[in-house]
Every structure is written in C-alpha cells, then in structure tokens.
Amino acid sequence: MDIVYNLLVVTHLLGMAYLVSGIVVRWVGPAERAGKIMLWGASAQVVTGLVLAGIASAGLVGGEVNHMKIGVKLVVAVAVLVLAHIVWRRPDIGKNVFYGLTAATLLNVVIAAMWV
Ligand code: HEM
C-alpha cells in the first residue's frame, strides 16, 4: 500500500503544480485558458487529497493522521474548486475572485507544509 500512497502523493503534488500553473497563466494573460487549467488542478487536489486522507485514516500506511488539518485543507480546497469553477464559467468576472483563489491556494500550501 505504501507504493500506492506514495504515487498518490506524487499525483497530489503534480495537481498542485497544475493549479499553480493555471494561476500563473491567469496572472500574465486572459482568463479563457487559465480557468480550465485551474479547474482541473483544483479537482485533482480534492480527489487525490481525499483518497490520501482515506488511506491514512484507515491505518493502511504508518504515521498519525491530523484530522483537524485534513478538515481545514478540505474546506479551503473546496473553496478553491468553487472559485475555479466561477473563473472558468465567467472569464470576464472581476479579478477579485481570482485573487481569492490565489490566496486560498497559497493558504493550503502553507497549511500542508507548516501545520505538523
Ligand atoms: C488547493 C488544495 C491543496 C493543496 C495546494 C495541497 C498541497 C499539499 C502539499 C504541498 C502536500 C505535501 C506536504 C508534505 O508532504 O509535507 C500535501 C500533502 C497532503 N495533502 Fe494536500 N493539498 C490540497 C488539498 C488537499 C485536500 C483537499 C486533502 C484532503 C482532504 C489533502 C490531503 C493531503 C494529505 C493527506 C497529504 C499528506 C501526504 C503525506 O503523507 O505526506 N490535501 N498537500
């Protein structure tokens, strides 16, 4: 199970890279392409994150699971997903939605790395 879990962590990190690349694309240019990239990246984060949390909570891999941290990350990630959906459906919407998405994404990276 360790190899499956580690491959999921790799996918989770690639999903984050995809999400952040969508943010960079939007930052330097129009929203049309960026919306879809951010939506796929945000979806990947929620799906792979939930599976990772499920495997760890089931005790199939070693180590303690911080359920509070997982719960907060899930709430923030769902907010990112909703905002990505809005940017994707309405590329002409004001930039504040995009700024919120960027801040929430960075918040989840900080939580992932610093909340032990
Ligand atoms: C925007 C959304 C997200 C971002 C940017 C993100 C980012 C990250 C990063 C950078 C790591 C690696 C941290 C490390 O190993 O020290 C990580 C690990 C992890 N994430 Fe996320 N995450 C997101 C959403 C989620 C969600 C929604 C869940 C679960 C509900 C989740 C569950 C996990 C778990 C269980 C790990 C631990 C992997 C391990 O064992 O090291 N993540 N996340």
Please give the Cα distance from 18 to 44 (Å, whole number): 9
Among 101, 110, 116, 114, which Cα is nearest to 41's? 101
Q: What is the pLDDT of residues 8-19, one digit of tens each?
A: 999 999 999 999
Tell me how far the alpha carbon of residue 26 lies from the centroid of ligand 1, in angstroms.
Answer: 23
87 vs 33 pLDDT, higher one: 87
| Per-domain residue ranges of the chain | 2-114
Q: What is the pLDDT of residues 42-99, one digit of tens each?
A: 999 999 999 999 999 999 998 889 999 999 999 999 999 999 999 999 999 889 999 9
Task: Provide residues with CB under 6 Å of ligand 1.
Answer: 9, 12, 16, 45-46, 49-50, 52-53, 56, 70, 73-74, 77, 80, 105, 108-109, 112-113
